[in-house]
Amino acid sequence: SGIFTAALALFTDLNVLLNLVSIGTLFVFYMVANAVIFRRYVVVGYTKPWPTLSFLCLFSITSVFFTLVWQLAPPGPLRWFMLGASAVTAIAIVQIFHCVVPQAMIPEFWGVPLMPWTPCVSISLNIFLLGSLEAPSYIRFGCFSGLAVLVYVFYSVHASFDAEGDGSLDFKDMESLERINRSVLC
């Protein structure tokens, strides 16, 4: 891994690497913020995921629209009107979701405060920052993500099943596995 990283840094422009690291980090933060909301509002088998998934898609689309207007619209009163309208729409979407969909799981000790507002701010900021990156960064990100998915499918999935089969991933009982999952995900 170190040799691969050194070779990549040696033969690649620094701005290309910075954009690739930035897009990867921002995308992960965006996905984590979505997962925090999904995990708090959806319990598999007990609640329906569609209201939460619809909210996350609608809020993300509104954030993308805001970012596109910011990047592409010519300066003037129309631009400011569209930015204000999309901001008000995003706030309304979050408030409606907050009032209509109850939280399915409230953490016992500590959880993200001001739910769902804090993760929504993170989603908006990450999408806004993603919109400031250059188009070739997205192509590189897509290629590296595709490569990572191939490594996962052809190696990691089988390695984890093999580890489970030979006892490397041995859990005494299902309750301890559930306790570990709760502590990691909450």
Question: What is the per-residue pLDDT for 18?
Answer: 85
Q: Side chain identity at 163, as an amino acid letter?
A: A
DSSP notation for 79-135: HHHHHHHHHHHHHHHHHHHHHHSPPS---SS---SSTTHHHHHHHHHHHHHHTTS-H
Question: What is the per-residue pLDDT for 105?
Answer: 84
Q: Is 117 exposed, middle or buried (CB count within 10 Å of its CB: 0-12, 13-18, 19+)?
A: middle
- Two tokens, residue 43: 């319990």
Distance (Å, whole) CA 36 – CA 52: 11
Half-sphere exposure of 150 (CA within 13 A, CB side): 6
Question: What is the per-residue pLDDT for 165?
Answer: 60
Question: What is the per-residue pLDDT for 88?
Answer: 97
Q: Are 64 and 127 in contact (CB under 8 A)?
A: yes
Question: What is the per-residue pLDDT for 6?
Answer: 84
Q: Render pLDDT for 8-31 as a digit per residue (tens, 0 to 9).
A: 778 888 888 888 888 989 999 999
Question: What is the per-residue pLDDT for 120?
Answer: 96
What is the mean pLDDT for each group of 10 consecutive residues in the chain (186 residues)?
A: 83 84 92 94 90 95 96 94 96 95 86 90 96 90 90 79 57 54 52
Question: What is the per-residue pLDDT for 98?
Answer: 94
What is the 3-state composition of the chain as percent helix, strand, coil, each rounded to the nearest 5?
Answer: 75, 0, 25
Q: Render pLDDT for 107-120 as a digit per residue (tens, 0 to 9).
A: 888 888 888 999 99
Q: Which residue in 92, 43, 90 sits closest to 65, CA to CA?
A: 90
Question: What is the per-residue pLDDT for 175?
Answer: 57
Question: What is the per-residue pLDDT for 108?
Answer: 82
Sorted by sequence, the CB contacts under 8 Å of residue 160 that are 6+ apart come out as 169
pTM of the model: 0.77
Q: Are 62 and 89 in contact (CB under 8 A)?
A: yes
Question: What is the per-residue pLDDT for 17?
Answer: 83
Question: What is the per-residue pLDDT for 68?
Answer: 95
Distance (Å, whole) CA 19 – CA 111: 32
